[in-house]
């Protein structure tokens, strides 16, 4: 991982797999479905007669079933709102009655409810209209507006987090990796501590926005870490004494400064000296192929031992499979001895002398060194150099 990125800037590229909404859609079908197709539980909520404006008593069972089946044909709220809107008419009041106080305002409009049956159209009351379609007076989303500001705050908090982009993938990906020491629970706690009471959210609300609206992942835990650093970090987190905690923080800071100075000295160009680092890299399994002859060969492990010059970064690899040699201290020591005998004297020392004469090195010089390294390949002790 390299180069820090802000989460809010990384809004394109590969995405995490979205959650399965099958159960959610099933619940919607149940909610907006027809629970009483035979009208066994239906009760007339009003007592309008023929003399009234509303003709609710003229409705028959067949008319109610016809309107309800047409309405519940699509178990989806958005599609069900279309026939509902056709049955509602907004009008302006013709007369305005007097009010008891001056602060009371007059109605700006009123609604008329009507039903379209197979043969005629009837005007009905509000209670009858709601009972036929099995809907409530406030059918719209009454909760979304309460969480708009909270969602905006949570998104703004997550967008300001700084992470790193992965260098392992060759494809273009804008997935951001946060520190392995963090998790959603920690971020949720940090968010609630940074906002006022009216903007605080629960864990489920925070995690849903974190997973669905952002392409973020936490990095893997670090391996081969310093035991002194890890021990002091744990002691600092559990210590309750401020004096002891401050002492641990000071010791850890001094330890890191010494390590930083050590690596700084390694990177300096010392006269008549060369600094190398070596590492036995992660064991890799051979590629799996469909050829029958390679069935047993694909189970072999591939070992790679790398020696690198710190100043020029010219890597030399010793590679072998487990059927040629193991990966113990004997093989590592033999590779280092071979490196000192052949590569150090034949390649790196002349190259260092040339750098002292020219005080510069071009990309062509780097390619010559790599080609020379490849030409010096030879088999020693079962290890390919």
Residue-by-residue pLDDT tens, the chain, 385 positions: 445 666 655 554 445 556 656 677 777 777 777 777 777 778 888 877 766 678 777 788 888 888 888 888 877 788 888 888 888 888 888 888 787 777 778 778 888 888 888 888 888 888 888 888 878 776 655 566 678 889 999 999 998 888 777 655 555 556 788 887 788 999 999 999 999 998 999 999 999 888 888 888 887 666 677 889 889 888 998 888 889 999 999 999 999 999 999 888 877 777 777 778 888 887 777 766 677 766 665 667 888 899 887 766 678 888 888 888 888 888 888 888 888 887 776 655 655 555 555 444 444 444 343 333 333 334 433 344 4
d(CA 308, CA 316) in angstroms, rounded, equals 6
- Residues 300 and 321 sit within 8 Å (Cβ to Cβ): yes
d(CA 132, CA 146) in angstroms, rounded, equals 30
Sheet order of strands, 162-165 included: 2-6, 162-165, 176-178, 216-218
CA angle 160, 176, 236 (to 5 degrees): 70
d(CA 311, CA 267) in angstroms, rounded, equals 6
Cα dihedral 315, 321, 324, 330 sign: positive
Burial class (CB in 10 A: 0-12, 13-18, 19+), 306: middle
Question: What does DSSP say about strands 315-321 and 284-285: parallel, antiparallel, or unpaired?
Answer: unpaired
**Which H or E element spans position 334?**
helix 329-338
Distances from the Cα of 130 to the Cα of 8, 27, 43, 126, 127, angstroms: 45, 22, 12, 6, 5
Distances from the Cα of 83 to the Cα of 86, 131, 140, 355, angstroms: 5, 15, 15, 84
Q: How many CB atoms are located within 10 Å of the residue 129 CB?
A: 24
C-alpha of 162 from chain center: 13
- Phi and psi at 121, nearest 5°, equal -125, 130
Q: What is the DSSP string of 132-200?
A: HHT--S--S-SSGGGSHHHHHHHHHHHHT-EEEE-SS-SS----EEE-TT--HHHHHHHHHHHS-GGG-
Distances from the Cα of 34 to the Cα of 67, 71, 85, 384, angstroms: 12, 9, 19, 75
- Residues 365 and 373 sit within 8 Å (Cβ to Cβ): no
Residue 51: both structure tokens together: 């003399």
Distances from the Cα of 67 to the Cα of 21, 72, 116, 121, 125, angstroms: 30, 9, 7, 11, 15
Q: Which residue has the tokens 């519940």?
A: 72
pTM (predicted TM-score): 0.42
């Amino acid at each position: 991982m390299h180069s820090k990125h802000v989460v809010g800037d990384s809004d394109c590229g590969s995405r995490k797999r979205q959650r399965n909404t099958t159960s959610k859609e099933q619940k919607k079908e149940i909610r907006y479905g027809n629970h009483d197709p035979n009208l066994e539980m239906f009760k007339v909520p009003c007592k309008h007669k023929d003399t009234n404006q509303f003709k609710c008593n003229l409705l028959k069972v067949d008319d109610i079933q016809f309107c309800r089946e047409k309405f519940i044909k699509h178990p989806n709220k958005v599609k069900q709102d279309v026939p509902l809107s056709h049955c509602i008419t907004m009008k302006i009041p013709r007369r305005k009655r007097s009010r008891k106080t001056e602060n009371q305002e007059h109605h700006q409009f009123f609604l008329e409810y009507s039903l379209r049956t197979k043969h005629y159209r009837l005007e009905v009351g509000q209670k009858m209209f709601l009972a036929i379609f099995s809907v409530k007076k406030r059918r719209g989303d009454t909760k979304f507006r309460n969480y708009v500001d909270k969602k905006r705050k949570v998104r703004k908090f997550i967008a300001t987090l700084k992470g790193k982009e992965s260098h392992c993938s060759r494809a273009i990906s804008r997935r951001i990796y946060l520190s392995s020491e963090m998790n959603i629970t920690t971020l949720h706690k940090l968010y609630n501590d940074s906002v006022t009471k009216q903007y605080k959210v629960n864990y489920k609300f925070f995690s849903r926005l974190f997973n669905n609206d952002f392409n973020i992942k936490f990095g893997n835990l670090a391996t081969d870490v310093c035991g002194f650093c890890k021990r002091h970090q744990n002691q600092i987190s559990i210590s309750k004494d401020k004096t002891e905690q401050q002492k641990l923080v000071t010791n850890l800071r001094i330890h890191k400064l010494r390590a930083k100075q050590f690596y700084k000295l390694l990177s300096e160009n010392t006269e008549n000296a060369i600094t190398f680092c070596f590492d036995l890299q992660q064991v890799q399994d051979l590629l799996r192929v469909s050829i029958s002859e390679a069935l047993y060969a694909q189970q072999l492990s591939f070992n790679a031992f790398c020696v690198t010059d710190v100043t020029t970064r010219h890597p030399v690899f010793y590679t072998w499979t487990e059927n040629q040699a193991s990966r113990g201290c004997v093989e590592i020591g033999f590779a280092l001895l071979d490196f000192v005998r052949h590569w150090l004297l034949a390649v790196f020392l002349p190259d260092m002398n040339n750098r002292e004469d020219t005080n510069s090195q071009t990309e062509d010089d780097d390619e010559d060194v790599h080609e020379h390294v490849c030409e010096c390949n030879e088999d020693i002790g079962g290890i390919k150099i």
